Amino acid sequence: MKAYKNILKSRQVAAHGLMDVIPKQKFKDENWKLVSVSRGGLEIAYNISKKYANKIEILFSEPIMAPNNDDCEIARVSEREEIVINENLVNSFEIKYDYIYGEAHRKHEEKILSYIYQYRKGRPFPSMEKEVVLLVDDGCETGLKFMTALKTILAQKPKAVYIAVPVIPSDVLELLEPFADEIFFLYNIDDYVETSLYYEEFEKINEERIEQLLGE
């Protein structure tokens, strides 16, 4: 773990590193659509795209936490109400699926819809049918954000779906590989702790910055 601490200067530097492993000619010629799966991923996506002016979107999702444990994410729901469940955790804790579906509906109504109105003025997530999509984040801990995004995007029948992420756990990389056409990364880490550990600078992405990035 110590060998990987602060291996990335910032999200901007991480994005430039990703552009060294992403096939730039295909990226440009096929007009890949960038879809961030988090606020931090939006900053990465912006720095990847700004030289080529590829379209950026953000796919909103919210975690569903275990009952009586706010630190344990057991599922995630996307803005198109796709749900991905960590079956191992749910079965281990004997959590009822009614609880998950109820929480998914509540999170969608109370949080995700507010994000859509705040950042997109109510505009729904656009169709990615027949598009080449690059899902982006600044790191990956459980894989649930990417799995939720993959389930949402694949349901729209895209031409291809890629993933770009600077740091990723080795086991999550193996989990995601069957569902993506290719995964572009800088470091895959066996004993992954939390994303912020791998950045020297890991500033919070505030509301103004989100609006600015989506506006550009």
Q: Which fold has domain 2-59+128-215?
A: Rossmann fold (3.40.50)
Q: What's the whole-number mean pLDDT along residues 20-39? A: 96
The values of phi and psi at residue 28, to 5°, are: -75, -50
Q: What's the whole-number mean pLDDT along residues 8-19? A: 97
pLDDT at position 4: 85
Asked if pLDDT for residue 8 goes beyond 60, the answer is yes
- Of the pLDDT bands very low, low, confident and very high (cuts 50, 70, 90), residue 92 is very high
How far apart are alpha carbons 81 and 205 in whole angstroms? Answer: 24
Question: Residue 115, SS3?
Answer: helix
Which one, of 205, 199, 191, lies nearest residue 10 by Cα? 199
Asked if pLDDT for residue 157 goes beyond 90, the answer is yes
Q: What's the whole-number mean pLDDT along residues 141-150? A: 96
CA angle, corner 169, sides to 168 and 175, nearest 5?
100
Q: Model-level pTM?
A: 0.95
- Of the pLDDT bands very low, low, confident and very high (cuts 50, 70, 90), residue 214 is confident
- Of the pLDDT bands very low, low, confident and very high (cuts 50, 70, 90), residue 51 is confident
Instruction: Give yes or no for a contact between 48 and 136, defined as CB atoms under 8 angstroms apart.
Output: yes
Which residue in the block uniquely carries the two structure tokens 């990364």? Answer: 185
Question: In the predicted model, what is the mean pLDDT of the chain?
Answer: 95
H or E, element range at 58:
strand 56-58
Residue-wise pLDDT for 95-125, tens only, equals: 999 999 999 999 999 999 999 999 999 999 9
Question: Residue 88, SS3?
Answer: helix
